[in-house]
Amino acid sequence: MRSHWNRREFLQRTSAATLAALAAGVPTASLLSGCKRTVPGQTSGTADTVILLWMAGGMAHTETFDPKRYTPFEKGMEGNRVLSTFRSVPTVLNGIHFSEGLQSIGNVMDRGALIRSYVAADLGHILHSRHQYHWHTCYEPPQTVVAPHLGSWIAKELGPKNPVIPAFIDIGQRFDINEGEELKAFHTAGFLGNEFGPFFIPDPSQGLESVRPPVGMDARRFERRNQLYNELIKNSPMGEFGSDYQKESLRRSMEQAYMLLNSPEAKAFDLSTEPQAIYERYNTGRFGLGCLLARRLTEQGARFISVTTGYEPFKGWDTHENGHTRLEDMKCQIDGPIAQLILDLEKSGHLDRTLIVLASEFSRDMMVEGRPDAKVQEQVSQPDVLADEKFYGMHRHFTDGCSILMFGGGIKKGVVYGKTADERPCKTIENPVRIDGIHQTIYHALGIAPDTQYEIEKRPFYTTPDGKGKPILELFA
């Protein structure tokens, strides 16, 4: 498989895979699935719900949850001296420090685990959309079939906790941006069918608008529009090329959405009913309100919820310049809401059965693009000597040392797993973790067998490539 794909080639290949998925028949359980492998420690599951807090754009580990030596900015300083642009601050865990600005999350780390040794894949020239595809599906793009999103596998295998609430909900990601089509490539259930795909809420403050007809549309008019929509589907590529399975799956997804519109649970999407004091604790922007909506939907029986800071090129965590000042803002957006989400779910009794995962597609470094022994084409003009403060920060993509947080859902409390070097390159030096291990750790918590598979194109398609991924059992209590 080629390792160097540009955006156009990536889109062409994934679009072809989408058409192939439309024509796919029923994804059947492979004969191999009757021969389950046994994994030491496999249980019926320690969690019922997953909340993925997605730091889209590349969150620098040395500037967040794995700080190194702090070096303040000085005009004319050597860039290679800079490992962290923030001071480190103590957390509630003895001897464990976070980067300044994340004190609230640090104060709840006695409820969770910190992984400091995630190693992102070598996918050639680094594209955010390709690495995000890989993280969310566990498969390197492009594939001959559309690989299902992690949330879709969970929705398929476990079904909804509450039949009215969509099993897979995505909060915060917009597609009307540059690279929007690339992002759509992995926000899908693929061959599993539309009913297991994400229910999108781009703006959590307008969540209620996602589950009710437009203003001025009465029930009769809405029903007529629904009938018209079904007619349009018949004349669409899905209607023309889709298999009976895919058509039926789409019909069921529409029925689920219609059922939600007429249910009392739809009120969970209305943040205006939240007490004002609680609302303000979360109100740091779209991401913060997304955490609030995730809490409300978890309490109503959602199965998988993704809350993202929203990937948009050169914004958010995608720091190609002014890294230090940009991260000051990002920390303000995430620190309070994430800590509040954990505390609120703990108070309501939901944290024990809810697995919260915080992650990003890769990390960042000031000097290294890729990883030390697999450097790739540099995408940022980063001088060796910093004459301007806009160069002070982690602006290059780094794949050999990333941080992931996990809370609740059977995860050990107050644990640190893995280690990165204290000097540049700040790469993983103990217990490296890769994406199949992260996915299988999540599946393990939910009680989903590690060799879960379906037969597609006359071959088994596993939740992780070749079914070889193994959970990190050391993280479980």
What are 151-169's pLDDT values in tens digits? 999 999 999 999 999 999 9
DSSP structure string for 354-390: EEEEEE-S-EEESS-SEETTEE----S---SEE-SGG
pLDDT value of position 223: 63
* CA pair distance 39, 51, nearest whole angstrom: 25
Closest listed residue to residue 15, CA positions, set 128, 193, 146, 178: 146
Q: Which of 236-240, 331-335, 383-387, 466-470 has the lowest mean pLDDT?
A: 236-240
Q: How confident is the model at residue 81 (pLDDT cuts 50, 70, 90)?
A: very high
Contacts of residue 35, Cβ cutoff 8 Å, sequence gap at least 6: none
pLDDT value of position 8: 53
pLDDT greater than 70 at residue 233: no
Residue-wise pLDDT tens digits, 3-48? 455 555 545 555 544 444 444 555 665 433 333 444 444 447 999 9
pTM of the model: 0.87
* CA pair distance 332, 334, nearest whole angstrom: 6
Q: How confident is the model at residue 423 (pLDDT cuts 50, 70, 90)?
A: very high
Q: Which of 216-220, 308-312, 329-333, 399-403 has the lowest mean pLDDT?
A: 216-220
DSSP 402: E
What number is the average pLDDT over the span 130-152? 95
pLDDT value of position 445: 98
* CA pair distance 339, 333, nearest whole angstrom: 11
* CA pair distance 24, 22, nearest whole angstrom: 6
pLDDT value of position 438: 98
Highest-confidence range of 7-16, 54-63, 230-239, by mean pLDDT?
Answer: 54-63
* Cβ atoms within 10 Å of 307's Cβ, excluding its own: 33
Q: Which of 59-63, 134-138, 368-372 has the lowest mean pLDDT?
A: 368-372
Residue-wise pLDDT tens digits, 308-359? 999 999 999 999 999 999 999 999 999 999 999 999 999 999 999 999 999 9
* CA pair distance 164, 466, nearest whole angstrom: 34
* CA pair distance 451, 249, nearest whole angstrom: 24
CA distances (Å), origin 406, targets 9, 132, 356, 397, 415: 35, 19, 5, 23, 10
Closest listed residue to residue 54, CA positions, set 409, 442, 362, 300: 362
Q: Give me Rg for the CA atoms of the chain.
A: 22
What number is the average pLDDT over the span 355-377? 94
pLDDT value of position 213: 62
Quick one: what percent of the chain has pLDDT higher than 70? 80
- For residue 134, give both structure tokens: 């890989």
What number is the average pLDDT over the span 437-442? 98
pLDDT value of position 44: 78
pLDDT value of position 33: 37
pLDDT value of position 2: 46
User: For 7-206+270-475, which CATH superfamily applies?
Assistant: Alkaline Phosphatase, subunit A (3.40.720.10)
| Mean pLDDT of all residues belonging to the chain | 87
pLDDT value of position 466: 93
CA distances (Å), origin 398, targets 132, 167, 315, 427: 14, 33, 17, 9
Q: Which of 249-253, 385-389, 463-467 has the lowest mean pLDDT?
A: 249-253
Residue ranges per domain, the chain?
7-206+270-475
Residue-wise pLDDT tens digits, 82-124? 999 999 999 999 999 999 999 999 999 999 999 999 999 999 8
pLDDT greater than 80 at residue 400: yes
Closest listed residue to residue 382, CA positions, set 373, 390, 374, 372: 390
